[in-house]
Chain A
Amino acid sequence: MSKLTELNIASARDGLNKGEFSAAELAEAYIKAMEAGRELNAYITETPEVALERARQSDDRRAKGDHLGAMEGIPIAMKDLFCTEGVLTTAGSHILDGFVPQYESTVSANLRSAGAVMLGKANLDEFAMGSANITSYYGPVKNPWGAKVGKDLVPGGSSGGSAAAVSGGLAMAATGTDTGGSIRQPASFCGIVGMKPTYGRCSRWGTVAFASSLDQAGPMTQTVQDAAIMLGAMAGHDPKDSTSAPIDLPDFEAAITGDVSGLTIGIPKEYKMDGMDAEIQAMWDQGIEWLKAKGCNIKEISLPHTKYALPTYYIVAPAEASANLARYDGVRYGLRVPGDSLDDMYMNTRGEGFGDEVKRRILIGTYALSSGYYDAYYIKAQKVRTLISNDFKAAFEDVDAILTPTAPSAAFGIGENQDDPVAMYLNDVFTVPTSLAGLPGISVPAGLSKSGLPLGLQLVGRAFDEGTLLNVASALEDAAAFNFKPGGEG
């Protein structure tokens, strides 16, 4: 049975179609793997009963000859930011204690109706705020690659549980959400594929909000083809989300042709930063060579406002978060810590319910929006955001995709960077500009660092042109031939 957990979505689909195994067998194998891998702390809530029930329903559909979805029988981890009907949903926070939604998020509902089987709710940074999955109330997640170097490593964040689950074979694929890099950076750290689609491609309805103008759900998978299959099942216009794009879904899987010759790939000169890790630079140079060999034209481009992206992000995202998180007040659901007055109850509940990083961002955001500072911070940040967006628009006049590193380093140890929030924020330096511009980005595992840890390369595409992006990513994946598995799993 151990073989079943080595399959990916495409190969499992073939096996299920051929009747080599059932969805229930697949689910059982993953439930065992999930239980055996508890040391990683990748899941906050395991839902084996839900998984088995849905797997059996999938087998029934297949037996009856009913319509089969794109994710039929595929066992996945669900980032615990997606509200799931009847299943505890925590957002990694103490403040949502005991919160069991009566509703299902659009993304998880879409996946369910495409036949996906939910194994459990994946751990994450509290309210998706973090780059190392160390801010979760439910404890840090361990990167499966740590065993290889004999050290507890972070899986990246905020979708750290999802990345660790896929990397460690505790789920065939997983959902993630990306606000400033929360899918791509952990994908890079864990040696998997992680894609943030164009803002508006996936509905935000039923996903616990961090920063509404940036949050976007996406697939975290073992291969680029899997990402294409899963994205097709997650995405689509949703009238319940006003920012969801009212456009048709293309066939993402069919967009992967393997032929990228003649496409122009942009290399932004501003991403070559002072003090950049030589390994990262070498990996990036290697990526350029691979795409050249595939017939792509390489063009140096300029994204002049890149250096303002991180500070802009750390105004916009906390500002939105400060309002989005106001609803966690102890009045209607989740944690309530009593007090002598309404204000006391608020302070006790929010004081105890939120962790330090969440509090830090609420304070930053509240400050940025407050009277007398609003123009200097929030309005200025919005203006810079427009400039950053315009940089990309101009660049995409000349190029079809942009290649950059995903993260400035490989996975680091749990406990490192912990006392320096700014050092931690720098993890997203390559991913944040794309988020601010709302563009699709994908991290593809490209190779190993000298210490044997995975490094990812990021490709960025035009808005709503995920097809081209996936095609280029697939070519990069093919050239990189990343075949490594985390050591600890044998």
Chain B
Amino acid sequence: MGYVIKGETCDWEVVIGLEVHCQVISKAKLFSGAATDFGAEPNTQVSLVDAAMPGMLPVINEECVRQAIKTGLGLKAQINTKSVFARKNYFYADLPQGYQISQADQPIVGAGTIILDMPDGTSRSVGIERLHLEQDAGKSLHDQDPKRSFIDLNRTGVALMEIVSDPDMRSPEEVGAYLRKLRSIVRYLGTCDGNMDQGSMRCDVNVSVRPVGSDELRTRAETKNVNSVRFAMQAIEYEATRQVEIYDNGGEVVQETRLFDASTGTTRSMRSKEHAHDYRYFPDPDLLPLVFSDELVEEIKATLPELPDERKDRYINDFGLSPYDAGVLVAEKDTASYFETVAEGRDAKMAANWVINNLFAVLSEKGIGITESPVSADNLGKLLGLITDDTISTKIAKEVFEIMVESGDDPEKIVEEKGLKQITDTGAIEAAVDAAIEAGAKQVEQYKGGNEKILGWFVGQVMKATQGKANPGQVNKLLKEKLDA
């Protein structure tokens, strides 16, 4: 049994569904030509349409539609060749139109699936209910002036894909895996940069609990403003515990919208059902239904890159990697590309070990991503080549790797300059072997007496004499030949 909360009366399981808002990668906004760059000066990326000037009309940006279709295909989802934009009405100072153009009962993408890669190497499937396109709102800045709020409309009208999951997740870990996988997919597709810290991927969490073994769906609470994978997991833990306590005390969970407070890791009520907005959705009369051909869908399908799931399968089947290692390597597109460069024409398992064990340790110690790695994929590949062709031993390779991390240098250059090249000259090794045998009369006796483990002592002597550069295979072979003679 997975994630269970021990209550006073019974054990509880948690039922979780997510609504994730992904900012679409596109040069212009969903219905206007204004730019979408992150971090521009306030109110410098605002068109007349974004500011809702009188008489302004939205015109759909085809690029955003293509991105939504692409994402839908990446989620193995139903693509609806006819969908409808609707107005979601509410008043707020950073919503100039007084309504958000969204999609209600006819979204562009229908049911799909995401496969979760769990840390133990197993997989789980989570249903996607829908994906729809909508406009982002602007930003209200409440901390610029003691009395007034300032409004930045740069983000107003930027295209978002809202991706709604089925209530299929049962633990914070699954939610973490879901978010990481979704992020991985959109990054592979190039449809969203997935940067939760910049707000280009945002998450609302729907949580309810029920007694273990029950299949009912109880009242859920929606937690908004969850801006990292870790926060999502925290919010669920807090929320599930809160709800179990309510039930344990004989209470009822109320349907409401809650806000996550990152500083305390708790959630608090934002508005209850009674105060919930009546959004008065209706089809936007300024826009015709969004209709496109099956050919367009096929055309986009043909441009889809290899996605993490397919890539993982390939790593397992073609490279013989374990599901866990394959999952780790494909999670980030950049990691996978790095790995493939390292493994190109080399032993893939060895490449996987070096990337996962050696390189990741360095990256995590330095707190940097793989694209900033001091060791380039080409250089790591060369290092592996030097091991494979017996130029250096694995032990020396680790030393060379340390130097590469510090200097970023080419391993061939390092080996050359530091004279770390393995001694494969039989004559030189033989001399060292002879010297060791001569110096170790006592050990020779022990060996001949049947103590084969003593061979290690001779190897150590030879390595000491050659500063570790002697080829271990040759050393072993020669020692045995001479001692057994």
Chain A interface residues (CB < 8 Å from chain B) = 82-83, 89, 91, 96, 99, 101-103, 105, 204-209, 211-213, 239-243, 319-320, 322-323, 325-327, 329, 331-333, 342-343, 346, 366, 369-371, 374, 378
**Beta-carbon contact of B89 and A243 below 8 Å:** no
Q: Does B419 contact A (CB under 8 A)?
A: no
**Beta-carbon contact of A378 and B282 below 8 Å:** yes
The residue of chain A having its C-beta at the shortest distance from the C-beta of B89 within the complex is: A323
State in angstroms the CA–CA spacing of A213 and B288 once bound together.
10
State in angstroms the CA–CA spacing of A378 and B104 once bound together.
15
**Beta-carbon contact of A327 and B54 below 8 Å:** yes
**Beta-carbon contact of A242 and B89 below 8 Å:** no
State in angstroms the CA–CA spacing of A343 and B92 once bound together.
9
State in angstroms the CA–CA spacing of A278 and B286 once bound together.
41
**Beta-carbon contact of B53 and A101 below 8 Å:** yes
Other-chain contact of A103, B48, B93, B96, B286 (Cβ < 8 Å): B48
Q: Which residues of A contact B246 (CB under 8 A)?
A: none
**Beta-carbon contact of A242 and B55 below 8 Å:** no
Other-chain contact of A91, B48, B54, B149 (Cβ < 8 Å): B54
**Beta-carbon contact of A208 and B54 below 8 Å:** yes
Q: Which residues of B contact A208 (CB under 8 A)?
A: 54-55
**Beta-carbon contact of B286 and A243 below 8 Å:** yes
Give A102 Cβ to nearest chain B Cβ, in Å. Answer: 8
**Beta-carbon contact of A205 and B91 below 8 Å:** no
Q: A323-B99, A331-B93, A369-B89 are in contact. Are A103 and B57 (CB under 8 A)?
A: no
Q: Does B51 contact A (CB under 8 A)?
A: yes
Q: Which residues of A contact B280 (CB under 8 A)?
A: 322-323, 366, 369-371, 374
Q: Which residues of A contact B57 (CB under 8 A)?
A: 204-205, 240-242
Give A125 Cβ to nearest chain B Cβ, in Å. Answer: 16
Other-chain contact of A331, B54, B151, B281, B286 (Cβ < 8 Å): B151
State in angstroms the CA–CA spacing of A339 and B149 once bound together.
13
Q: Which residues of A contact B51 (CB under 8 A)?
A: 332
Contact residues on B (Cβ < 8 Å of other chain), bracket = 20 to 34
**Beta-carbon contact of A331 and B89 below 8 Å:** no
Q: A326-B91, A327-B54, A331-B151 are in contact. Are A320 and B98 (CB under 8 A)?
A: no
State in angstroms the CA–CA spacing of A242 and B280 once bound together.
23
**Beta-carbon contact of A332 and B60 below 8 Å:** no
Q: A242-B60, A346-B91, A374-B280 are in contact. Are A212 and B55 (CB under 8 A)?
A: no
State in angstroms the CA–CA spacing of A102 and B53 once bound together.
10
Q: Which residues of B contact A105 (CB under 8 A)?
A: 55
> By DSSP majority rule, is chain A's interface helix, strand, loop, or mixed?
loop
Sample of 27 A–B contacts (CB below 8 Å): A101-B53, A101-B54, A101-B55, A102-B48, A205-B57, A206-B56, A208-B55, A209-B54, A209-B55, A213-B285, A240-B59, A242-B57, A242-B286, A243-B286, A243-B287, A243-B288, A320-B285, A323-B98, A327-B54, A327-B97, A329-B91, A331-B93, A332-B52, A332-B96, A346-B91, A366-B280, A378-B282
Other-chain contact of B285, A212, A326, A346, A371 (Cβ < 8 Å): A212
Other-chain contact of A83, B54, B60, B99, B285 (Cβ < 8 Å): B54
Give A490 Cβ to nearest chain B Cβ, in Å. Answer: 39
The residue of chain B having its C-beta at the shortest distance from the C-beta of A83 within the complex is: B55
User: Which residues of B278-310 are within 8 A (CB) of A?
Assistant: 278, 280-282, 285-288
Q: Which residues of A contact B93 (CB under 8 A)?
A: 329, 331, 342
Q: Does B87 contact A (CB under 8 A)?
A: yes
Number of A-B contacts defined by CB within 8 Å: 97
Q: Which residues of B contact A326 (CB under 8 A)?
A: 89, 91, 97-99
State in angstroms the CA–CA spacing of A133 and B468 once bound together.
100
User: Which residues of B102-137 are within 8 A (CB) of A?
Assistant: none
**Beta-carbon contact of A369 and B96 below 8 Å:** no
Q: Which residues of A contact B92 (CB under 8 A)?
A: 342
The residue of chain B having its C-beta at the shortest distance from the C-beta of A378 within the complex is: B282
Q: Which residues of B contact A243 (CB under 8 A)?
A: 285-288
The residue of chain B having its C-beta at the shortest distance from the C-beta of A343 within the complex is: B91
**Beta-carbon contact of B96 and A331 below 8 Å:** yes
State in angstroms the CA–CA spacing of A28 and B280 once bound together.
51
Give B183 Cβ to nearest chain A Cβ, in Å. Answer: 33
Q: Does B58 contact A (CB under 8 A)?
A: yes
Give B100 Cβ to nearest chain A Cβ, in Å. Answer: 11
Q: Which residues of A contact B96 (CB under 8 A)?
A: 327, 331-332
Give A418 Cβ to nearest chain B Cβ, in Å. Answer: 27
State in angstroms the CA–CA spacing of A101 and B55 once bound together.
10
Give B62 Cβ to nearest chain A Cβ, in Å. Answer: 12
State in angstroms the CA–CA spacing of A326 and B282 once bound together.
14
Q: Which residues of A contact B60 (CB under 8 A)?
A: 242
Give B397 Cβ to nearest chain A Cβ, in Å. Answer: 62
The interface centre, meaning the residue of A82, A323, A343, A346 with most chain B CB atoms within 10 A of its CB, is A323
**Beta-carbon contact of A327 and B282 below 8 Å:** no
The interface centre, meaning the residue of A99, A326, A342 with most chain B CB atoms within 10 A of its CB, is A326
**Beta-carbon contact of B59 and A319 below 8 Å:** no
**Beta-carbon contact of B98 and A329 below 8 Å:** yes
Q: A329-B98, A371-B278 are in contact. Are A103 and B285 (CB under 8 A)?
A: no
User: Which residues of B293-338 are within 8 A (CB) of A?
Assistant: none
State in angstroms the CA–CA spacing of A325 and B48 once bound together.
16
Beyond A83-B54, A320-B285, 18 additional contacts (C-beta under 8 Å) are: A83-B53, A89-B54, A91-B54, A101-B54, A103-B53, A205-B56, A206-B56, A242-B60, A243-B287, A326-B89, A327-B96, A327-B98, A329-B98, A342-B149, A369-B280, A369-B281, A369-B282, A374-B280
State in angstroms the CA–CA spacing of A239 and B91 once bound together.
29
**Beta-carbon contact of A242 and B288 below 8 Å:** yes
Going nearest first, the 10 A-B pairs with the smallest beta carbon separation are A326-B98, A212-B285, A369-B280, A213-B285, A327-B52, A206-B55, A208-B54, A371-B278, A83-B55, A207-B55
State in angstroms the CA–CA spacing of A89 and B89 once bound together.
26
State in angstroms the CA–CA spacing of A369 and B104 once bound together.
14
The residue of chain A having its C-beta at the shortest distance from the C-beta of B98 within the complex is: A326
State in angstroms the CA–CA spacing of A332 and B53 once bound together.
9
User: Which residues of B39-90 are within 8 A (CB) of A?
Assistant: 48, 51-60, 87, 89
Q: Which residues of A contact B285 (CB under 8 A)?
A: 211-213, 243, 320
Other-chain contact of B286, A212, A332, A371 (Cβ < 8 Å): A212
Q: Which residues of B contact A204 (CB under 8 A)?
A: 55, 57
Give A440 Cβ to nearest chain B Cβ, in Å. Answer: 19
State in angstroms the CA–CA spacing of A327 and B280 once bound together.
16
State in angstroms the CA–CA spacing of A199 and B285 once bound together.
12
**Beta-carbon contact of B287 and A242 below 8 Å:** yes
State in angstroms the CA–CA spacing of A211 and B286 once bound together.
10
Q: Which residues of B contact A369 (CB under 8 A)?
A: 89, 280-282
Give B104 Cβ to nearest chain A Cβ, in Å. Answer: 11
State in angstroms the CA–CA spacing of A205 and B288 once bound together.
15
**Beta-carbon contact of A99 and B286 below 8 Å:** no
State in angstroms the CA–CA spacing of A477 and B281 once bound together.
46
Q: Which residues of B contact A213 (CB under 8 A)?
A: 285
Give A121 Cβ to nearest chain B Cβ, in Å. Answer: 13
Q: Which residues of B contact A207 (CB under 8 A)?
A: 55
The residue of chain A having its C-beta at the shortest distance from the C-beta of B153 within the complex is: A332
The residue of chain A having its C-beta at the shortest distance from the C-beta of B278 within the complex is: A371
State in angstroms the CA–CA spacing of A99 and B51 once bound together.
14
The residue of chain A having its C-beta at the shortest distance from the C-beta of B287 within the complex is: A242
Q: Which residues of A contact B52 (CB under 8 A)?
A: 327, 332
Give A384 Cβ to nearest chain B Cβ, in Å. Answer: 16
